[in-house]
């Protein structure tokens, strides 16, 4: 059985934050893992998505069947820590440890086709219909509606008076 792999070194993010994202995609089909990563709002998701696509390109070079690929293994190891300091009171300093991560991913072919369990639809921009463009604003659409009351002035709005009388007087 062939394996395709890719590795990302020195990602400027703590490994425990990256592990939250990789735990979601571990064991999934590549198409479903890609969809999960596209919709995820974590900061590590775009980097892992790029790594997954790199591994898929490596699998394509090895002539592996793209429909049967799954994430066989993915792991995060701690990379080197950058040590910085933050100035504090009375001439002292407190240490800052900026963590980095090494991520490695291995894709393998499964025996059966890995069809995604669900599809993710990315919403497109809505196009205005011809009716909305041609319709005059304020004209009745179908049934006649009763005339609406005119808007109150902002000074008559109860919220305005509430703000005025809520103020503390000297």
Beta-strand ranges (E) seen in 3-149 are: 3-11, 69-78, 82-87, 93-98, 101-109
CA distance 149 to 155: 17
For 74, counting Cβ atoms within 10 Å of its Cβ (0-12 exposed, 13-18 middle, 19+ buried), the class is buried
| CATH 3.30.750.24 is held by the domain 3-83+95-109 | no
Phi-psi domain of 153 (left: phi exceeds 0; alpha: psi -120 through 50; beta: other): beta
Residue with tokens 């109150």: 152
User: Per-residue pLDDT tens for 133-144?
Assistant: 555 566 656 655
Percent of the chain with pLDDT over 90: 61
Q: What does the block give as tokens for 118?
A: 């669900």
Query: What backbone phi and psi angles, to 5 degrees, belong to 9?
Result: -110, 150
Query: What backbone phi and psi angles, to 5 degrees, belong to 39?
Result: -90, -10
The pLDDT value recorded for residue 130 is 55
The pLDDT value recorded for residue 110 is 86
Instruction: State the helix-helix crossing angle for 45-61 and 30-39, rounded to 10 degrees.
Output: 160
Instruction: State the helix-helix crossing angle for 15-25 and 30-39, rounded to 10 degrees.
Output: 130
The pLDDT value recorded for residue 2 is 86
> Residue 103 in contact with residue 73, Cβ under 8 Å?
no
Q: What does the block give as tokens for 103?
A: 């991520």
User: Per-residue pLDDT tens for 109-153?
Assistant: 988 766 655 655 666 776 665 555 555 566 656 655 556 665 555
Pairing of strands 69-78, 93-98: unpaired
pLDDT beyond 90 at 17: yes
pLDDT beyond 60 at 102: yes
The pLDDT value recorded for residue 52 is 96
SS3 67: helix
Percent of the chain with pLDDT over 70: 66
The pLDDT value recorded for residue 129 is 57
């Amino acid at each position: 059985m062939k394996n395709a792999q890719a590795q990302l070194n020195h990602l400027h993010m703590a490994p425990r934050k990256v592990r939250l994202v990789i735990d979601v995609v571990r064991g999934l089909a590549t198409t479903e893992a890609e969809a999960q990563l596209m919709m995820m709002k974590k900061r590590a998701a775009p980097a892992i998505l790029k790594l997954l696509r790199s591994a898929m390109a490596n699998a394509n070079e090895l002539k592996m069947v793209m429909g049967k690929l799954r994430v066989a293994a993915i792991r995060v190891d701690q990379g080197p820590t950058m040590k910085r300091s933050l100035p504090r009171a009375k001439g002292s300093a407190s240490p800052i440890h900026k963590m980095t991560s090494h991520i490695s991913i291995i894709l393998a072919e499964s025996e059966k086709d890995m069809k995604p369990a669900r599809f993710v639809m990315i919403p497109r921009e809505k196009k205005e219909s011809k009716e909305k463009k041609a319709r005059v604003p304020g004209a009745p659409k179908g049934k006649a509606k009763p005339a609406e009351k005119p808007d109150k002035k902002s000074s008559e709005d109860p919220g305005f008076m509430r703000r005025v009388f809520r103020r503390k007087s000297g």
